[in-house]
Amino acid sequence: MTNGRSHSSGHRPPERGFQQGSREAQPAQPAGPTIEVADIRFGAGLTETIFADIAQNKARVVAEAGDRNNTNRSTQLRKFYDELVMWHEKVNVVSSAGMCQQEARQTRYQDVAPYIKMMIAKVAYARGRKHVDDCFEKLFTHVVRQIGDPLTLRHAKLFMEAFMGFYKAEEKGKEN
């Protein structure tokens, strides 16, 4: 028994102003756009709308999210696309001295794979600096995590190419 009160159950009653199970009171925040990425799948059996409807939908969501919090400038997003293109070119422009082109691409992919995956850290850093929002970070991270060979790298590059085209159209549409 301490300070005149006895709690036989061994735990304190919830404090006022807090919901049970929460650590601290959170002010209600308006729900911003969220992005679903499960429909973005690379590799064998690509969905026929991956570079059209799916990319367009993702561009629309990311553009809307960027408008709400003043992030996701096309020049910033373009940097991530440009780096993806650079890695794609490094993997696919290989001299095939004694190897077939497919083997040479696979070997080169293995050499640069850690640097490709490092783009996940780069987009997280850009998010921390408020250059991109969580929708773009989630999208780009999902895209990069699916890259596992030269074919999926190509699909990722093509998806981001389509996404950037639609994103720029969204941006221009808002200016008019």
Domain count along the chain: 1
Phi then psi dihedrals of residue 82, to 5 deg: -60, -40
What domain range includes position 106? 50-175
Mean of per-residue pLDDT scores for the chain: 85
Q: Is residue 42 one of the residues assigned to a domain? A: no
Q: Is residue 9 one of the residues assigned to a domain? A: no
Largest CA distance in the chain: 86
Residues in contact with 120: Cβ distance below 8 Å, sequence separation at least 6, in sequence order: 140, 141, 144, 145
Q: Is residue 30 one of the residues assigned to a domain? A: no
Cα separation, 59 vs 87, in Å, equals: 22
Cα separation, 91 vs 109, in Å, equals: 5
Phi then psi dihedrals of residue 54, to 5 deg: -65, -45
Cα separation, 26 vs 17, in Å, equals: 10
Among residues 45, 119, 132, 24, which one has the least CA distance to residue 81? 119
Q: What pLDDT sits at residue 22?
A: 46
**Per-residue pLDDT tens over the stretch 141-166:** 999 999 999 999 999 999 999 999 99
Q: What pLDDT sits at residue 18?
A: 42
DSSP assignment, residue 50? I
Of residues 152 and 95, the one with the higher pLDDT is 152
Q: Is residue 22 one of the residues assigned to a domain? A: no
Q: Is residue 77 one of the residues assigned to a domain? A: yes
Q: What pLDDT sits at residue 95?
A: 64
Q: Is residue 43 one of the residues assigned to a domain? A: no
Is residue 10 over pLDDT 60?
Answer: no
Q: Is residue 6 one of the residues assigned to a domain? A: no
Is residue 53 over pLDDT 90?
Answer: yes
Q: What pLDDT sits at residue 16?
A: 47
Q: Is residue 31 one of the residues assigned to a domain? A: no
Report DSSP letters for 51-113, one per residue: IIIIHHHHHHHHHHHHHHHT---HHHHHHHHHHHHHHHHHHHS---SSS-HHHHHHHHHHHHH
Phi then psi dihedrals of residue 5, to 5 deg: -110, 145
Q: Give me the mean pLDDT over the 106-130 stretch.
A: 97
pTM over cut 0.95: no
Of residues 28 and 97, the one with the higher pLDDT is 97
Tokens 């440009």 label which residue? Answer: 82
Is residue 21 over pLDDT 80?
Answer: no
